[in-house]
Amino acid sequence: MKTLLKGLGLIVLLVLLAAGAVAGWGWTQAQAFLDEAPSQAHEERVIRIPRGAGPQAISNLLAQEGVVTDADRFALFLRYRKAALKLRAGEFRFWTDHTPEQVLDVLLRATEVIWPITFPEGLRYTEMAPRVEAAGLGSPADYVRLAEDAAFIASLDLPIDPPPKNLEGLLLAETFAFPAGSTVEDVVRAQARGFKELWTEDRRARAKALGMSIYEVAILASVVEKETGQPDERPQIAGVFHNRLRMGMPLQSDPTIIYGLKNYDGNIRRSDIRRVHPWNTYVIPALPPTPIASPGPAAIDAVLDPDSTKALYFVAKGSSGRHYFSSSLSEHNRAVDCYQRNQKHRCPK
């Protein structure tokens, strides 16, 4: 009997020793996994975590992209850390030389990846549309469709009554950032909201003092925007246009001719100057019916606070990007001879 008991005791001891060895081996393996990164190379991986994905699904995605070495072990790690309910959907930036602990930190605390899109000032909405596609946020056709959709435009609650037929000049031109999953509609609404936010009480009061509606300011600002790329010239050009409007003179702005041409090839011909269309300010003694591009805040402020000037004319000084301003037609004609016809001996002093 004693021999039997000794045999059983030996078996129990061996089992315990084996269990301890297995446990020790398991702990060693777990610790090795937690200390190990998939690669020594610092390579970026942008991974989208779907909404509702659990620990195993997320771990599989990370393993497929080389962010963790073992999907099953990482899923166990997430459960051990009680992270399952804290996991977020979105697009996040991971690195291949991160340990599981660092990967978990990204999943729980990192900000989502955002995709920037820049709209320069002075673009038409049809010219903005391709930039939406380039940023991976939708198709140009959908962007244009929304910019011309009456029901959608009415939903934007723009400070313009009645709502315009399209959003020309009313989509803020600046850099926006959108998270993954954003749509074309998100982009257009953000731009329209940006335009609305420009109209502070101060700007509204200045427009009212000038006897202009917000839409009229946007129209004139779009012409100013297209006339010069020189920030310091905008208030002066706005002053010229205000003078002309006050006197009932046509604005005679070349960009307004171009806006109404279907097949503009880079040259304005005499026939184009005489061509009658709603935006040609050589033939209409008033503002165009709509903006001709998206003006920036500086152009809007130039219209709201123009220079006090007697100038009625301006002409580009060759390729410098700057302009010469004149208060009389005779002075303007001499400037045109000088800067446009290269008759430098006739340049005004």
User: Domain for residue 20, yes or no?
Assistant: no
Do 149 and 205 lie in one domain? The reply is: no
Task: Check residue 28 and give its pLDDT.
Answer: 67
Do residues 235 and 302 make contact, with C-beta atoms less than 8 angstroms apart? Answer: yes
Max distance between CA atoms of the chain, in angstroms, equals 131
User: Domain for residue 142, yes or no?
Assistant: yes
Do residues 312 and 243 make contact, with C-beta atoms less than 8 angstroms apart? Answer: yes
Task: Check residue 342 and give its pLDDT.
Answer: 67
Rounded CA-CA distance 196/74 in Å is 48
> At 171, is the secondary structure helix, strand, or coil?
coil
Query: Model's pTM, two decimal places?
Result: 0.75
Do 234 and 285 lie in one domain? The reply is: yes
Omega of the bond leading into 162 within 30 degrees of 0 (cis): yes
User: Domain for residue 21, yes or no?
Assistant: no
Do 207 and 249 lie in one domain? The reply is: yes
Residues shown for the chain:
349
- Say how many domains are in the chain: 4
Do 249 and 303 lie in one domain? The reply is: yes
Task: Check residue 4 and give its pLDDT.
Answer: 43
| Residue 345 domain boundaries | 310-349
Rounded CA-CA distance 64/203 in Å is 54
Do residues 147 and 124 make contact, with C-beta atoms less than 8 angstroms apart? Answer: no
pLDDT band at 1 (very low <50, low <70, confident <90, very high): low
Do residues 99 and 62 make contact, with C-beta atoms less than 8 angstroms apart? Answer: no
Residue with tokens 């301003």: 325
Residue 323: strand pairing partners: 316
Do 69 and 53 lie in one domain? The reply is: yes
The residue type at 97: D
Rounded CA-CA distance 228/314 in Å is 11
Do 64 and 131 lie in one domain? The reply is: no
**Interval 266-277: pLDDT, tens:** 788 888 888 889
User: Domain for residue 234, yes or no?
Assistant: yes
pLDDT at residue 349 tops 60: no
Rounded CA-CA distance 158/190 in Å is 12
pLDDT band at 3 (very low <50, low <70, confident <90, very high): low
Rounded CA-CA distance 204/184 in Å is 29
User: Domain for residue 16, yes or no?
Assistant: no
**Interval 156-190: pLDDT, tens:** 999 999 999 999 999 999 999 888 788 999 999 99
User: Domain for residue 29, yes or no?
Assistant: no
Do 205 and 305 lie in one domain? The reply is: yes
Do 53 and 149 lie in one domain? The reply is: no
Task: Check residue 267 and give its pLDDT.
Answer: 81
Do residues 62 and 96 make contact, with C-beta atoms less than 8 angstroms apart? Answer: no
pLDDT band at 246 (very low <50, low <70, confident <90, very high): very high
Do residues 197 and 159 make contact, with C-beta atoms less than 8 angstroms apart? Answer: no
CATH code of 78's domain: 3.30.1490.480
